[in-house]
Every structure is written in structure tokens, then in C-alpha cells.
Chain A
Amino acid sequence: MKHTFFRLALGLSAIALLAACGGGDDTTATTTEAPLAAVVPSGGSGSITGLVSYSGDDTDAEINMDADPVCASAHSDPVSTESVVASDGNLANVFVYLKEGVGGSHTVSSEAVLLDQTGCTYVPHISGIQVGQKLVIRNSDPTLHNVHALPEKNKEFNQGQPFQNMELEKSFDTAEVMVRLKCDVHPWMSAYIGVVDHPYFAVSGTDGSFSIEGLPAGDYVVEAWHETLGTRTQSVTVGDGAVTVSFDYDA
């Protein structure tokens, strides 16, 4: 029984290895788990929770996907650009991270961050990643995409994913808030990734809330970044418990 299990595991591993090698270069056809952008590090017992509020309306523009029939047929309802996603006075897609006050070195998460191209949009639109952490970029669409990263501090890349379920693995060498990615085939496709050299970041949800946990006690500068509304900065002192901060954006 033990030998049978071992042979089965060996066979499956060989098949997985062949599948992984099939894509060539760093493009693979394997499936990777998809953790969310926010991580829960274990550096301490403090946390920063809060809310991002917005005094304006949801001003997202509707996307015309007629340039690719596959994209146009993927949606029965209108799709927006996600540049300003707000409801009930709360703002989503705000990248919140510790800008100053984080010392020492931090273990890079072994979990990959997934950026999916589905319905000819990037999901998630905003995410965060640690320096050196694996980024998996997947094409879930039955059409081709190119993934074009436009960093200023990291290395620019532009790679094609002509077939569905192709995956591309990348990582960033330098902290950079934010790195923009776009698809030159479908000009409306845009995503931003915050690259930081520690695990203390989060992205506000549709209710505007965010939470950064596992913080050591100390004084920090917290920055909120939004792609069109800009940045807001606050200084906070974190102890053993939760500290609440809020960021306010005007229209």
C-alpha cells in the first residue's frame, strides 16, 4: 500500500513537471493558489484598522470592449474601469501600507499573489506584494493578452499570453508604490501592484475598510494610495492592540 502511494505520487509529480515545462521560459500552464493581496504577518500583536471614505460619487467610466469580440461577449452587463469604486461614502481599491517606521528584515511570503485576466479585466485591479514574492499572472480568457509592466524602479517586461490558462511567474526586486500593468491588446485593461519590502499592507474593500495585522509596537507613517485621487498620509503609534485610522478623499 505504501509503495503504491509512493508510485502514484511519483507519477503525478512527473506529469505535473512535464506540464510545467510545456510552456517554456517562465510561462507555464500550471495552476497556482490565489491568495488575496493582504497578508497577516506574525511580527507582533498590534494592528491598524480603518476606513477610507469618499465624498464624491462612483465616477467609473463604462468600458467599450468592441475591439475584441471575445471580450465584448464575456459580459452581459456594462463593465467599468474601476478607477473610482465608491458606495455609501466608502472608497474601494485604495492601497494602504506602512511607508515609514518598519525596520529590520522580513520573511518573504511563500504564497504567490495571483493577478488574473478574466473577462478582459485584471482581477484584482489593485493588489500588493512583497519584494521577491512570487507573482502569478494568469490568462483565464479564451483570447490573447500581453502583460506589460511599467515600473520606474523595477525591470520593465512585456510578455504575451496567447492561450487560455497560461500562467506567467514574475517577482519584483525593488520596493515601488505602485507598478502599473497594462494590456496593449485591450487598452482599457490596467492594474496596479504595490511592491513593498515588508508584509504590512492592505487594499480597501468595497466597504472602504482595511486591516493591517501582526504589527510590532512602534511609530509608523501610514500611506493610502489611490490611482486617481492621490495619496494621504498619517502618523500612528501602535501598541499591543488595534489602532484605528481613517483616510478621507474628496471628489
Chain B
Amino acid sequence: MVHAESPRALHRFAVFLASCVIGLIAAGGLVKSLEAGLSVPDWPTSYGGLNPPRWWEIENVRAEHGHRLIAGTVALMTVALAIWAWRREPRRWVRRLAWGAGVAVLLQALLGGLTVLLFLPTAVSVSHAALAQLFLCMVVAFALVTSRGWRESIASPELAATGRDLQALASGTTVLVYAQILVGALVRHTGSGLAIPDFPLMFGRWWPPQFDFSITIHLIHRIGAVLVTVAVVTLLVRIARCSSRRGFVVPAVAMGLLLVAQVTLGATIIWSGRAVLPNTLHVPTGATLLAASLILTLRSWRAAAAAPASSRTVGEPAMVAA
């Protein structure tokens, strides 16, 4: 199948938007790290107007109002992307993906406003965090499928032979990373980040001596980190054995590096008593890891969809030429 080409500028704009979304997620992480979510008590206005007086001079207001300004800019950019795609993107499902991102960012804004007006209920705040990641995934997916590499990959018979085992492994890793981020959001928004105050031990042992809700979800997050590590390492080994194509190797290596950074940040949060910088960076690093995993997953699906039936063996890695 050969489809008409998406405008290169549209793809580049989508890549830029994806990086802005990661910046927006980082800004949201900063708001939570500073506990500044209610420092601007009204919504959609800020202290009754567009910009509170001296907002850029006051740390918490700068964080919360800055988050709103970035969010507003990203929302406008997403609407622009959707309109652009509607006019220039030849594939219907890609156009729908862009509109889906537009709807997601508007829902995200509503959730953000709702959590302020309702005094940060955990369910709404965690939903806000969860939808942020889905919105990022939509924009990343749009950027990927409008890239030249996506179109070329369909015409590559050696890549098509990669097989479904990689598809399943990459998909499972992406789902696992997303689930880990959801648990992380629950940890953050229930104030459970220091429920287990030491690392790598837990209360000086290898297993917590007692449990409550905070300790349990904190423990689940740590176990999740182990599972994600196993999944990413397995994926890396799998890619190293079956493919040297840039489209697979780059996101796989990125995932490895991001995983190391993420685990280091997680440990630093504990050791520093939840210092603002590592506590903030932990959020966009996790989001970028999810984005890299999604890219790898979508490429593996693309390869599997094009693979001939004879090459779709499970557990038997197919060698892919560079």
C-alpha cells in the first residue's frame, strides 16, 4: 500500500508539538512538586484576570500560571495541527488521530480546571496525569505516521520479516510503562512518595514490615520499576539480535538511557527527601520513555503488518538487514 505523502512541514510541526507536550508535562510535574496546584485558586481565570499581578516573580504562581499558559499554547497548537491535517493529510485515520488529540487536550484542560475548583481530588488529579500521557501518545503517533521513515518502512521487505514476537514484546512494554506511570501518578497525588523512606531497602529490609495504602502503592511502583526494567532490557536484547535498522535501534537505545535516568531520579527523590528538581524531572522522563516505547511499538506493528505469513514466527527472531 502506498499512500499520498503527508506534508513534511506538518510532520515537523507535529514533532515540535510533541516536544512541547513533554515540556508541558514537565511544567505539570513542577506544579505538583512545589504543591502549587491551588496557588491560583480560580479557573479559567487567574485571580480574576488573564495574568495575576507579578505572577512571574512569585515561585508557586509562576509554576501554576506558567503551566496554564503553556497548556493554552499547546492546546492552540494542537487545534492548528488538527486543522492542518484535515486540509492536507490524505489518510482519513491520521486526520482522525489529529482531531482525537485536539479533543484530548481540551478534555485535559477541563480536568485541570476541575481539579483546581474541587481542591485537587486524587481521582481528578490522577485522571489529569493519565490523560496527559495519552495526549502525548496521540501527538507522538501522529508525528511518527506522518514521517518519511514510516512510509519507507512499509516498502522494506527485510524489516517486514521482524515478526510478531517483537510486536508483542514492544506492545507489552508500552502498556507496562503506561501502567507504571499511572501508579506513579497515584503515588504523587496521594503524597506517598516517601511512604517508604529508604532506597533500595524498605524500612531497612528487603520487604516492608507493615502496610497501609500509601506503603502499598509505593511498593507497587517499585515493583513496577523492576518489571519495566526487565521488559526494556528484554526488548533491547531482542532488537540487538534481530535488527540494526535505525528506526528500531534509536528508540531502543533511547529507552535504555531513559530507563537508567528514570531509576536514578526515582532513587534521588527518596534520598533527597523529595527535592523539587528530581521530583519534577521524574515526570517528563517517564513520559519520554513512554513515547520512545510507543514509537518502537508502532514500528513493530508496521513491520508485522507487512510481514509474510511464513516469517511471523513467535520466538524465532528474524534477522533484519541494516
Contacts and interface: CB of A to CB of B under 8 A. Distances in A.
A159 B53 contact: no
Contacts of A144: 47, 52-54, 58, 61
Nearest to A150: B119
Interface string B29-43: 000000111111110
A70 interface: yes
Contacts of A67: 58-60
B57 interface: yes
A148 B120 CA distance: 12
Contacts of A185: 36, 39, 58, 60-61
Contacts of B119: 156, 158
A143 B39 CA distance: 13
Contacts of A148: 38, 41
A144 B37 CA distance: 15
Interface string A141-184: 00110101000000010111011000000000000000000001
B59 A158 contact: no
Contacts of B57: 68-70
Interface in B26-77: 35-42, 47-49, 52-54, 57-61
A187 interface: yes
Interface size class of B (residues with CB under 8 A): 20 to 34
Contacts of B37: 184
Contacts of A162: 47-49, 52-53
Given A158-B119, A162-B47, A184-B36, A143 B58 contact: yes
A185 B54 CA distance: 12
B274 to A, nearest CB: 14
B79 to A, nearest CB: 29
A145 to B, nearest CB: 10
Contact of A146 (B35, B38, B53, B59): B38
Contact of A160 (B35, B47, B54, B58): B47
A187 B57 CA distance: 15
Contacts of A187: 35, 60
A161 B38 CA distance: 13
Contacts of A184: 35-39, 41, 60
Contacts of A70: 54, 57
Contacts of A163: 53
Contacts of B49: 162
Nearest to B60: A185
A45 B61 CA distance: 51
A186 B59 CA distance: 9
A77 B43 CA distance: 37
A190 B226 CA distance: 40
B58 A68 contact: yes
A184 B119 CA distance: 11
B93 to A, nearest CB: 43
A67 B52 CA distance: 16
Interface in A103-136: none
A67 B63 CA distance: 11
Contact of B39 (A69, A146, A156, A159): A146
Nearest to B36: A184
Interface in A17-70: 67-70
A158 B38 CA distance: 8
B48 A146 contact: no
Q: 3 smallest A-B Cβ distances: which pairs?
A: A67-B59, A162-B47, A184-B39
21 contacts: A67-B58, A67-B59, A68-B57, A68-B58, A70-B57, A144-B47, A144-B58, A146-B38, A146-B40, A146-B41, A148-B41, A158-B41, A160-B48, A160-B52, A162-B49, A162-B52, A162-B53, A163-B53, A185-B39, A185-B61, A187-B35
Given A68-B59, A184-B37, 8 more contacts: A70-B57, A146-B40, A158-B41, A162-B52, A184-B35, A185-B36, A185-B60, A187-B35
Interface of A: 67-70, 143-144, 146, 148, 156, 158-160, 162-163, 184-187
